[in-house]
Amino acid sequence: MKILVTAKRVTDPNAKLVIDDDGSWIDDDVEYILNPFCENAVECALQLAADHDAETIAVGIGDEEVQRYIRQGALARGIDRGIHVEADEQELDSDLIAKILKALVEKESPDLVVLGKQAVDGDSNQVGQLLAEMLGWPQATFASDVKIEGDEVIVTREVDGGLEKLAVTLPAVITADLRLNDPRYASLAGIMKAKRKPLEELELDDLDLDGEEPKVRVVKLHEPTGRSAGVFVADVDELILKLTTEARVL
């Protein structure tokens, strides 16, 4: 059995992001972390691999620094090997990422792809669904429990009304939710092993995706407008007047 997982790096949600002068992108002098949902995906893959003797592969897409997050976030935790697809992160959207993953699936033929349900930078929540569609595979998103039984994977999903349990036939795509598991910490032994684990470097060209364009373009980034200062009103009448004439909420 073979399991492919994603290891996307995202800007640290605690970090203060600075937008470039021309509003095209963020200043990359910022701390990054592994996407927390990808940590759940990695942990899921490791647990399934332990029970079902599977090979595990982590994929990261972006510039060279992405390798650090593949090693630290995935290989040091126990994922067997990594693949880094070199790409300009400004030139990626969910659609193109799904196409890259599809090409990798065709190259590696995994039985299962586990992704984070979304990345906490763009919050798009699209890649898993797009990938399943492109592959023509069944999908189970927002997983809070995953079990493999025979040629099916039994997934409990977190949905608005509560929990939904699905059986999907392998091969399949699963996206991990936060309550799926508690991701393990990378041990020192794991860190030492990670140094020697294979990490394949691929270009878009290697996947016959050279020249593919993203469908979504960032037009402009800007800071949210700040809240203006409040004013004191003399009495309730003035408040009602302002709510009616200025705020127009009454």
Partner 1 sequence: MPTAPEGDQTLTAQYTKATDPTRAAPPVCPVLCRRPRVSNPSSSNPPSGSGNPLVSDADIRFLLGDVFDVASLLELPAFEAHSVETVDMYLATIRRFSREQLYPAYQLMDRAPPQLIDGRVHVHPLAKKLFAQLVDLGVLTADRSEDVGGFQLPSLVTSAAMLLMMAANLAAVGYVSLTSGAAHLIEVFGDDALRASLMVPMYAGRWAGTMALTEPDAGSSLADLRTAATPTDQGHYLLRGTKIFISGGDQDITENLVHLTLARIDGAPAGIKGVSLFAVPARRPTADGLVYNDVYASQLIHKIGTRGLASVGLTYGDQGDCRGWLVGPENRGMSCMFQLMNEARISVGVEGAAAASVAYHEALAYARARPQGRPMADRDPTSPQRPILVHADVRRLLLRQKAIVEGGIALVLKTAQLADLATHTPDGPERARLGLLLGLLTPVCKSFPAERGLEANSLAMQVHGGYGYTSEYPVESWWRDQRLNSIHEGTTGIQGLDLLGRKVMADRGAAVQVLGGEMTRSVEAAMAIGVEASWCAQLGGALRDVGETTRALGDKAAQGDAAGMLLHSADYLEAFSIVVVAWLWLDMATAAARRLAQTPNAPFYLGKRQAARYYFATELPKAGHLLQLCRDAEPSYGDMQDAWF
Interface positions with partner 1 (CB under 8 A): 12-16, 28-29, 31-34, 36, 39, 63-65, 67-69, 71-73, 76, 185-189, 191-192, 194-195
Instruction: Pick between residue 33 and residue 174 the one whose CB is nearest to partner 1.
Output: 33
CB of 209 to partner 1, least distance (A): 23
Residue 240 corresponds to which tokens in the numbers above?
């009602």
CA 47 – CA 146 distance, rounded (Å): 10
CB of 235 to partner 1, least distance (A): 20
List, edge to edge, every strand of the sheet that includes 2-6: 162-169, 152-159, 139-149, 172-176, 112-116, 2-6, 55-62, 81-86, 199-203
Residue 6 corresponds to which tokens in the numbers above?
């994603």
Residue 165 corresponds to which tokens in the numbers above?
């349990």
CB of 165 to partner 1, least distance (A): 30
CA within 13 Å, CB half, 194: 22
CB of 74 to partner 1, least distance (A): 12
Instruction: Pick between residue 185 and residue 246 the one whose CB is nearest to partner 1.
Output: 185
CB of 39 to partner 1, least distance (A): 8
Backbone angles phi and psi of 42, in degrees to 5 = -60, -45
Instruction: Pick between residue 122 and residue 190 the one whose CB is nearest to partner 1.
Output: 190
- Nearest one of 112, 121, 116 to 141, comparing CA atoms: 116
CB of 76 to partner 1, least distance (A): 6
CB atoms inside a 10 Å sphere around CB 31: 9
Instruction: Pick between residue 1 and residue 199 the one whose CB is nearest to partner 1.
Output: 199
Instruction: Pick between residue 3 and residue 33 the one whose CB is nearest to partner 1.
Output: 33
Instruction: Pick between residue 192 and residue 240 the one whose CB is nearest to partner 1.
Output: 192
What is the largest distance, in Å, between two alpha-carbon atoms of the chain? 74
